[in-house]
Amino acid sequence: RGEGVFYLELCDAPVQFEKVSTVNNVFFDEANKQVFAVRSGGATGVVVKGPDDKSCMSFRMEDKGEVKCIKFSLGNKILAMQRTLKTVDFINFIPDLPQTEYSQECKNIMKICQTVSVGRTFASESEGCRSFRIKAVMTGLKNLCFIMVSLCCPLCAKKKLDVHRRRKDCYHSPLQSGTMSKMLKFEIELPAIPKSGSLCLSERDITMAILYGQLYVLYLKHQGRTPNNPGAEVILYYLPREGPCKKTHILKLNVTGKFALNVVDNLVVVHHQSSQTSMIFDIKLRAEFDGAVTIHHTVLPPLSIHPCKIPRAGEHFNRNSSSWSVFQPDIIINASEGYLWCLQVKLQPIVHMLQDKGRLMDFLLQRKDCKMVILSVCCQLLSATERGSLSVIATIFDKLNQFYKEYLEAEQNYTLAVESGTSRGSSAQKPVRAQAVIDQSDMYTHVLSVFTNQDLPHKFISAVLMEYIRSLNQYQIIVQHYLYELVIKTLVQHSLFYMLHQFLQYHVLSDSKPLACLLLSLESTYPPAHQLCLDMLKRLSTANDEIVEVLLSKHQVLGALRFIRSVGGHDNISARKFLDAAKQTGDNMLFYTTFKFFEQRNQRLRGSPNFTPGEHCEEHIDHFKSLFGEQALLKAMVV
């Protein structure tokens, strides 16, 4: 590794293959991300390397001439090879089937594209596109369709194609669909060659990519740098499922020269060869809109990719290199050294490079592995050394809770669909929880509980906690009781009892049984907390049993009896519980009054003052007799 700051890097575990030599040719299949090392036309072996063990294999085949293109179908069941401009050969790699070789002829084949695991599409300038389905058992192909292409197909184009009009025919075939969809023609702004003045379009300047789940054509437009024109740009055309293609975004490069494009984690990465730097663009970030398209500039200044050491080259450190070959979406290959890497985004360095915290959060929330980085940004904003303003902190909380709310709504809608049965036979899918969903538990564990233990002004701590609760309420997210507990403990710790009273009085802290229990536990520190607890339990109207328990724990037996009678529950309460509490006080008159209360209840309910055996009050009957005698008369007691 080198020193410095970098926001792009190559993966730590590259795919290694036999490098290009006079006897070894290397090919790459973008669909399967497989590298083919073909030695001596395959006679001395073909070694296939891929991202996992299932995609790796080696075999031999008969040398029938130089291999121009080679790739497997999805699932590695059928091998396709192109040795001539007019023929494609196939070999079965299906269990229980012989590895028979068979062929298909077409006129002037330009490229082989796979559409499904047993399908191939050929393209030629004269014929257009032909789609075939391979019949492996019969060792033959079925002609599925024939498509004339006026000028070129961006998935199946020649290396260079002169264009005399500004229109293209495009065909899109998702790998698993098995169908080819013709898209409506659309205009592109072709640059003129400086010397001849004619229009020219190269295959390397056109690519297709999926950004945030949408299909785009990315067109690299080269143009000279002038005061009114800062250089090349990448133009994005959105390709909807239905309707015309539309130019939606322009990425300003501000330089000229040779470029290559990757798409990594929904970011467009533009590599500039002469400066050996790369730029990243995020079409989700706020940008200038001119009424028709959105104009984007690079998120951060251009930087080289983090250097990596190539073991075969000794101490050589490799940066953006002119010997690299770039493939979609995120593949970089160095055929001369025999390495294939996946390009990756490093989020942690970006935290320190992007000063606008709101924009930083917008950027991070769209990234795949963002959770711990986002939490670290929150900790940083709340730290004693880099304390952010409350307005910035509030903005961050709102952005986090907006994502949180969207996930909760999606989850709720899915649950309702399942319960109602409407999801059966439909496309309803359980929402996947992305790392951008930072819930209350995440914030409490990794940020807020740590933050409250720092040496910071108590008013700032309280304000931040309440700001997070305010944000949750704004998005109608039910606040978990442990956040309220954290607020109360913080206020008590700093003796901010007046603020605690205000928060409870104005219902800033929502009533709950756990919160009431916490208030009760604070009675020794703050005696009024006992009454605050009772008031909260009474407001809940579902905590009568808890109120009785609190009163009995404080030996307020008569108060408990009055309360339970006021809510109409005195006919169902346990006499033994109250008699136990009265006896424990050691107050004989309190015990007498409690005993007589239940005698009256028994008389009213059953016509007799006696306790039934099921009430298990024998001990208390004996205690009453020992205190007041056998002949104690039943008297009407008003409690």
Q: Is 122 a member of any domain? A: no
Between 28-37, 81-90, 254-263, 626-635, the lowest mean confidence (pLDDT) is in 626-635
For residue 333, which phi and psi values (nearest 5 degrees)? -120, 135
pLDDT score at 423: 56
pLDDT score at 198: 56
Residue 483 has pLDDT above 50, yes or no: yes
Q: Is 611 a member of any domain? A: yes
588-597: long-range contacts (C-beta < 8 A, 24 or more apart)? 588/627, 590/557, 590/558, 591/623, 591/624, 591/627, 592/624, 592/627, 592/628, 593/558, 593/637, 593/639, 594/557, 594/558, 594/561, 595/620, 595/624, 596/634, 596/635, 596/637, 597/561, 597/637, 597/639
pLDDT, average across residues 100-119: 67
pLDDT band at 136 (very low <50, low <70, confident <90, very high): low
pLDDT score at 247: 92
pLDDT score at 473: 94
Q: Is 574 a member of any domain? A: yes
Between 318-327, 378-387, 467-476, the lowest mean confidence (pLDDT) is in 318-327
Q: Is 604 a member of any domain? A: yes
pLDDT score at 574: 87
pLDDT, average across residues 334-344: 90
pLDDT, average across residues 501-512: 84
pLDDT score at 99: 77
Highest mean pLDDT among 19-33, 87-101, 283-297, 570-584: 283-297
> What's the CA gap between 474 and 600, in Å, rounded?
53
pLDDT band at 134 (very low <50, low <70, confident <90, very high): low
pLDDT score at 159: 32
pLDDT score at 388: 83
Residue 125 has pLDDT above 60, yes or no: no
pLDDT score at 138: 54
Tokens linked to 136: 């492996």
- Burial (CB count within 10 angstroms: exposed 0-12, middle 13-18, buried 19+), residue 601: middle
Q: Is 302 a member of any domain? A: no
Between CA 360 and CA 532, with CA 467 as vertex, the angle to 5 degrees is 160
Between 356-365, 419-428, 520-529, the lowest mean confidence (pLDDT) is in 419-428
Spatial neighbors of 114 by CB under 8 A, at least 6 apart, are 31, 71, 73, 74, 80, 120, 121, 175
pLDDT score at 300: 95
Tally the domains of the chain. 1
Between 200-209, 416-425, 616-625, the lowest mean confidence (pLDDT) is in 416-425
Provide the mean pLDDT of the chain: 82
pLDDT tens for each residue of 52-106: 888 899 999 888 888 999 999 888 888 988 888 888 888 888 887 777 788 888 7
pLDDT score at 549: 83
Determine the longest span between alpha carbons in the chain, in angstroms: 126
Residue 264 has pLDDT above 90, yes or no: yes
pLDDT score at 424: 58
Three-state SS for 271? strand
Between CA 148 and CA 156, with CA 150 as vertex, the angle to 5 degrees is 75
pLDDT tens for each residue of 207-260: 999 999 999 999 999 876 666 677 899 999 998 888 888 999 999 999 999 999
pLDDT tens for each residue of 523-577: 888 888 888 888 888 888 777 888 888 888 888 888 889 888 888 888 888 889 8
The reported pTM is 0.78
Three-state SS for 438? coil
Spatial neighbors of 195 by CB under 8 A, at least 6 apart, are none
Domain residue limits at 573: 564-638
pLDDT score at 106: 78
In the chain, % of residues over pLDDT 90: 38
Residue 445 has pLDDT above 90, yes or no: yes
Write down the residue that tokens 């009009």 correspond to: 165
Between 154-168, 549-563, 614-628, the lowest mean confidence (pLDDT) is in 154-168
Residue 332 has pLDDT above 90, yes or no: yes
Between 88-102, 194-208, 402-416, the lowest mean confidence (pLDDT) is in 194-208
pLDDT band at 393 (very low <50, low <70, confident <90, very high): very high
Highest mean pLDDT among 152-161, 380-389, 537-546, 590-599: 590-599
pLDDT tens for each residue of 180-196: 566 667 777 776 655 55
pLDDT, average across residues 500-527: 84
pLDDT score at 135: 62
Q: Is 429 a member of any domain? A: no
pLDDT, average across residues 354-371: 95
pLDDT score at 569: 80
> What's the CA gap between 409 and 404, in Å, rounded?
9
- Tell me which DSSP letter residue 361 carries: H
pLDDT, average across residues 10-35: 89
